[in-house]
Amino acid sequence: MRDGGRIAAAIEVLDEVESRRRPVRLALKAWGEASRFAGAKDRAFVSGLVLDALRRRRSLAWRMGADSPRAAVLGALVYDWRWPVERIEAATGEEPHGPGALTEDEKARLAEPVSLTDAPAPVRGDYPDWLDASFARVFDEARAEEGAALAERAPVDLRVNTLKSDPERALKVLKPLHAEPTGVLPTALRIAAPEASERTSAVETIPAFSKGWFEVQDLGSQIAAACAGEVARKQVLDLCAGGGGKTLAIAAAMASTGQIYAYDADARRLADTVRRGERAGVRNLQVRTPVNPEPLKGLDGKMDVVFLDAPCTGTGSWRRHPDTKWRLTPEALARRIAEQDSVLDDGARFVKPGGRIVYVTCSVLPEEDEDRIAAFLQRHEGFEVRPATADPALTSWLTPEGYLRLSPRTSATDGFFVAVLERAR
């Protein structure tokens, strides 16, 4: 495909995402299936351009003076991809596959970069207006900068599985992908984000991946799992296990001692936990599926750790899923808050005296984080907040209350919140 056809395809996909509120992953898949002529580089180009346009949707509309898929894509080519106007003009005017020649207004706006200095914080930070009060509560005057960091491209992070390998051996096999230690957790490696139109690193093609030597997992997610603390020889319940990423991280820290139980209200998601657990060589994992009656029977009051990776809005993962921030609504946030309260209440019954709840969200919104812990403590006597971590490499990200808060701007990770609640003896 020529540049004009690629740009036209990106506009088409973005229009599908916005007009039909379709997840970008599905819109890109549909375009790919209907465009068999498109090669791997074409798909990477279109996908990268669509995602970059979504990441900076508000600021691009401000700069382009138009809130349309075409304006967003053209703006992304200038402000993110650093294309000269001449190249854009030549590509858009290509016949018959280009999206149409630039208008005089588009030429003017692309030729003279527009500053965001006077723009409101939600524009500079590329997030919806209705979330500004929430961002202000957490980030205060830095909220625009925090939002902008959430609009950057994300690297590929890996967790070395110590049940089957070690960081030194993993780095050797990952050398072709230029993986490097993060310097935060000894088992965390990072592959830098690719250039705009390039494909992400094909980690799954490394044979050691199939052998279970490492897992793809954001550093923030790895840190959240590490906040489970000392888990060797303990009884651990992962109550919202999902696909099992944090379950496997905790299992590796347990070193095949004790017992970890994985449960999720959606039985279908647990299929990945089983498969990945087998590949990782986990021997102390017991999956409890909701398909069975009373799946958690016998665990009440017996757990040393109840890990709650709570359902949330996912605002902390906007770098990877930029379309979700424009689909998020106050009503959806309210539903998540209710689910989080329910999960916390449910998890409390499994903690034994002296045990702890580890509450985690991949959200930066205080309504889902600090507010939920405050509400839980009002409903449940006998629980106290403990520092989320004692690891010197992580304590700089503790809040004054002892919670752990991560963000792309402060920790170069996805946004995460962790609270540890200990049950009195």
The ranges assigned to domains in the chain are 3-113, 219-423
Distance CA(241)–CA(237), nearest Å, equals 9
Handedness of CA 85, 87, 93, 99 (dihedral sign): negative
Dist CA 174 CA 203 (whole Å):
8
HEC states along the chain? CCHHHHHHHHHHHHHHHHHCCCCHHHHHHHHHHHCCCCCHHHHHHHHHHHHHHHHCHHHHHHHHCCCCHHHHHHHHHHHCCCCCHHHHHHHHCCCCCCCCCCCHHHHHHHHCCCCCCCCCHHHHHCCCHHHHHHHHHHHHHHHHHHHHHCCCCCCEEEEECCCCCCHHHHHHHCHHHCCEECCCCCCEEEECCCCCCCCCCCHHHCHHHHCCCEEECCHHHHHHHHCCCCCCCCEEEECCCCCCHHHHHHHHHHCCCCEEEEECCCHHHHHHHHHHHHHHCCCCEEEECCCCCCCCCCCCCCEEEEEEECCCCCHHHCCCCCHHHHHCCHHHHHHHHHHHHHHHHHHHCCEEEEEEEEEEECCCCCCCCHHHHHHHHHHCCCEEEECCCCCCCCHHHECCCCCEEECHHHHCCCCEEEEEEEECC
| Measured CA distances, 297 to 271, 330, 339, 407 (Å) | 21, 36, 21, 37
Catalytic residues: 362
| Other CB atoms within 10 Å distance of the CB of residue 232 | 10
pLDDT at 340: 98
Is 67 annotated to bind ligand?
no
Burial class (CB in 10 A: 0-12, 13-18, 19+), 210: exposed
CA distances from 161 to 245, 322, 362, 421 (A): 11, 29, 22, 27
Residue for token pair 């984080």: 369
Looking at domain 219-423, does it have CATH number 3.30.565.10?
no
Which residue bears the tokens 């898949």? 29
Say what the alpha-carbon torsion angle 37, 40, 42, 43 is, to the nearest 10 degrees.
100
Residue 264 is labelled as binding a ligand = yes
114 bridge partner residues: none
pLDDT at 145: 98
Residues found in the chain: 425
pLDDT at res. 302: 97
Cα dihedral across residues 331, 378, 391, 233: positive or negative? negative
| Pairing assessment for the beta strands 351-361 and 416-423 based on DSSP bridges | antiparallel
pLDDT of residue 15: 96
Instruction: Give the C-alpha separation, 61 to 135, whole Å.
Output: 21
Rounded Cα distance, 43 and 399, in Å: 42
How far apart, in whole angstroms, are the C-alpha atoms of residue 309 and residue 306?
10
> What is the structure's pLDDT at 83?
96
Most distant pair of Cα atoms in the chain: their distance: 75
Taking 50 as the pLDDT cut, the residues of the chain under it are none
Q: Which residues pair with 405 in a beta bridge?
A: 417
